[in-house]
Structure 1
Amino acid sequence: MSDGAGTLASTPGFAEWSFPAEAGAVRTARTLVRDTLHDWGLDAVTDVTVLLVSELVTNALRYASGPIGVRMYSHAGPSLFVEVSDPLPDPPRERAAGEDDEGGRGLQLVALASRRWGTRQGTAGKTVWFELPLPG
């Protein structure tokens, strides 16, 4: 893609990308996730996956200044796993957004729409992950 996304790996059931912390990263991530899930025959989970990746990449852009990583994998199992990483070590905080707040709902969406989710510290930042059940 022309806006700086780097494909780190892409095989059936596994894909990984790195994006510069720039405004186009969210759009590029959505497109790559949508196209990859279509290629894998996982259209049934595309909309929710794209929504949640969009929220997490937006959060990474808002708070981190380094590269953003997105990884997806599903190896003929009952779940799709998605991870979004950034170099900021601080874990995200789920907060209760008020009626008129324009932000603060990203992690609530992840928690409500996924089977489970969490965060983990890495050597160079953190990863927020979620799991979605696959149909069938």
Structure 2
Amino acid sequence: MCSFTPAAELTLPMDMRAAAQARSFVTEASCPAHGSHVYDEALLLVSELVANAVRHGAPPITLEVSCDGSMGMLVRVSDGSPAAPVAKQASLEDESGRGVALVDLISDAWGVEPTSEGKGVWFRIGLAA
């Protein structure tokens, strides 16, 4: 982790306002030492993870953003459910079910880790050019 910029954390509401609050919070995250800043892909992924936590998780929902040095930005969404997200095969008509696939496709790396309260789903996304 970055020694210049401490991780920032926010507890989110257990409703659909959470994704918008998460996007605003992530937009403010940056590291002057490594020049990290957020771009559209990171905002999309944090929206997907927070929406999944609201729909399928349990309180509390916590968002953590940190600089991962020259590797980019690390984002973690934790909630109170131990159940890991499940990738689905969404049809063209489905209005949801693509979040895990998007995280897998767009992020540089991602994973799920157990926490004392449930689970944390994280992704790392590289520095914007």
Could you say whether these structures have the same fold, taking a TM-score greater than 0.5 normalized by the shorter chain as the test? yes
1:126 is aligned to 2:115: no
**Structure 2 unaligned runs (5+)?**
none
- Number of the residue aligned with 1:79: 72
RMSD of equivalent CA atoms: 1.9
Of structures 1 and 2, the one with the larger relative CO (CA 8 A, separation 6+) is 2
TM-score (norm 1): 0.82
Please list the CA deviations of residues 53-92 of structure 1 after superposition, one character each: whole Å capped at 9, or x if unmatched: 0000000000123121111111533221111000011001
The answer to whether residue 99 in structure 2 is matched with residue 113 in structure 1 is no
For residues 3-50 of structure 1, the C-alpha deviation after alignment (integer angstroms, 9 at most, x for no partner) is: xxxxxxxx825211111212211111111111224x75434x421111
Q: How does 1:52-91 map onto structure 2 within 5 Å?
A: 52-91=45-84
Gaps of 5+ in 1: 1-10
Query: Please, what TM-score do these two structures have when normalized by structure 2?
Result: 0.86
Counterpart of 1:99 (choices 67, 92, 104) is: 92
DSSP-derived class of the 2:29 partner? helix
Decide which of 22, 30, 55 is 2:15's aligned counterpart. Answer: 22
Q: Distance in 2 between matches of 1:116 and 1:64?
A: 22
Please say if residues 74 and 125 of structure 2, whose CA atoms lie closer than 8 Å, have aligned partners that are also in contact.
yes
The CA distance in 1 between the partners of 2:29 and 2:84, in whole Å, is 28
Aligned to 1:5: none
Of Structure 1 and Structure 2, which has the larger fraction of its residues in strand? 1
Instruction: Give the count of matched residue pairs.
Output: 124
Distance in 1, Cα, partners of 2:43 & 2:128: 17
Where in structure 1 do 4 or more consecutive aligned residues deviate above 4 Å? none
1:92–1:75 CA distance, 2 compared to 1 (3 A): closer
Task: Measure the CA separation in 1 of the matches of 2:45 and 2:18.
Answer: 14
